[in-house]
Structure 1
Amino acid sequence: MSTSGRFTIPSESNFAEKTAELARLWGADAVRNSDGTQLDDEVVALGMKVYTAYFPTRAHNEWITLHMDETPQVYLLSKRALAESDTVDVSLMDGFFEEQLKPNFDADPHKYWEVVDRSTGAVVPTEQWTVDAEAGVVHVSGAELMHEYTVSFLACIIWDPVEMYNHLTNGWGDKEHEIPFDIYHPATRKFVFDTFEQWLKDNPQVDVVRFTTFFYQFTLLFDQKQREKVVDWFGCACTVSPAALDDFEKEHGYRLRPEDFVNEGSYNSAWRVPRKPQRDWIDFLSHFVRANVKKLASLSHEAGKEAMMFLGDQWIGTEPYKDGFEDLGLDAVVGSIGDGTTTRMIADIPGVKYTEGRFLPYFFPDTFYEG
């Protein structure tokens, strides 16, 4: 029975001596860096296979701060507002984390937003509501007395949700917030691929590019107290943009409603029966994502490296059990071991050379601390 190999040890900056000790104890044959850290030269010199996490759509604020209209976007559903007269004001960001999300007032709200009378389900005509961007409020007129009203509105994701979680959990203090970006926009897409090609040249020591992950975060929204508000690992809510919505209409012959994304506040939870618009959007999005994933994998191979996908974070659009996954050219998939179900799901993924399970928890201060 082998006592070494098939084990990847995580490491971080200034941790070389302990990494070497643990690698010997556990028989590790590979090492990877952790989010926000780099491997020490002494760790690379240990002779293990080197994985390096790579984030295609974050950690480059020098780009996205100049193109803030090219961040990923999400449809948010406001809280319900009760009409106690024929006018009612609906607050947009009440209940959401303003460091993560920012309403998009630039894309015409009367084209891309929706006000709904939740007591009847009727869509309120656009001429009956106005937007006060400075106050973050939608004013509705001609309201029905004692009916409840909501606004479904586009918001930009201005802090990457995973980096945000790591930042808040680890107490990274004044470390700059990493702003995500959306490759649906041609200029940003070119930046992503140019940057990756340069990174491949600059990192000859890397054996495996561990994409963590690609382009679109699963639905992960936080409230004003920095708590998880909406979490759906299969959720496609954080994938929209005005350009993509317009292209979808051209391709499919009908226009998606904001309601097709917020779905009465469920945000198309996997526990609800998927409807045609949701299925059509998944197909539309997956086709775009996969074409670009395939290009990243090809570039990795041309540089003599393996391409590994982390089954988490920005994995939306890369569903491994959707037909055609094996055509992407990925060498491996790694995912977190939550229970027997996730272990089986990872182990059975077709079309890759090997799969890897990442044990939890992280060596984070919310898990490991004095006492």
Structure 2
Amino acid sequence: PDGHRIIGYVGRLAVEKQVEDLAILADVPNTKLVIIGDGPQKEALQAALPDAHFAGFLGGEALAQAVAGFDLFVHPGEFETFCQTIQEAMASGVPVVATGRGGPLDLVENSRTGWLYEPGNLTQLRGYVQDLIGDDAKRRAFATAATASVQGRTWPVLSADLRNVRAQRVHLKQRTLLMKISVIGCGYLGAVHAATLASMGHTVVGIDVDSSKVEQLNKAIAPFHEPGLDELLKDGRTTGRLVFTTDFAAAADSQVHFLCVGTPQSKTSDTADLSYLMGATRSLLPHLAKGAAVVGKSTVPVGTVETLRAILARRSDVLLGWNPEFLRQGTAVKDSLVPDRLVYGVPGGKGAAAGAPVTAVLDA
């Protein structure tokens, strides 16, 4: 409006997104900062960014039109595992300025499709924004390159990649150490993890307290869209290697248990709500076989393992470890089948021997 260039942000208005860092852009000449999204930090951010336009939550066509209207997309969050909004901005022909940490590193090609600034260096953030806002030709060149960079991430391309990955997995199954596994929590993370483990040949039981979700998954219908997931669910259900239930007793003879329970932000503070994770662990406790491994995948704050260790204290034979997820929306199935890294933590001093059950599953 009024000849101003639009600098846009889309995302949840929460502490971990670091939206307050955008105050450094408040007096960039001939620009208007537009914030799309909602969350617990909205009022604080409106006070910190009084000249910004807060559009609230948008979805569907309204969101697509708004993002396409940006001249530049900015994302200051340092804790993104993927950052789908960056990919959506690039697909809309909008160059990006983002922090050089986490998910943006996989999406933004520095000095070609956008700029990645040093985490915490807000002066550099401002400088990169001014560089693109002040140079129409460069901004258009970055925009063209940004759009081209995401053409290989369309649904047809991703589906073809997934079929190739599955073919490779079928070829490797003969040397797989197969196990009985339970996956506790069948939301986005758990449903994908359960289905991909079953596709590797493991026998998997997914457990969730939501009976309607369990019923839907048992019909091989994913409760959300993820390329290739419905196909894996159908395969697992047809072969009998995959079943979903609300009964924790079904996990009784499993060798490895993956905790994929949601850890949403607390309604009363800025910390994660771990009540679902703790409740799931307590429900699982009576059904743990001797020598079983309990492996967390949920996103949790530092110190969570010690809390879970206290719950499992009377079961010294049970291994408690952590294998953090690295899933990206749109490529979650592929990320699970062919991860670019395997990261897990086990009790100090036990090393590879303690992690052997987890490695056997993940290397399958």
- Bigger proportion of residues as strand: 1
Q: Normalising by the residue count of structure 1, what TM-score does the alignment of the two structures yield?
A: 0.26
Structure with greater contact order relative to length (CA < 8 Å, sep ≥ 6)? 1
- Bigger proportion of residues as helix: 2
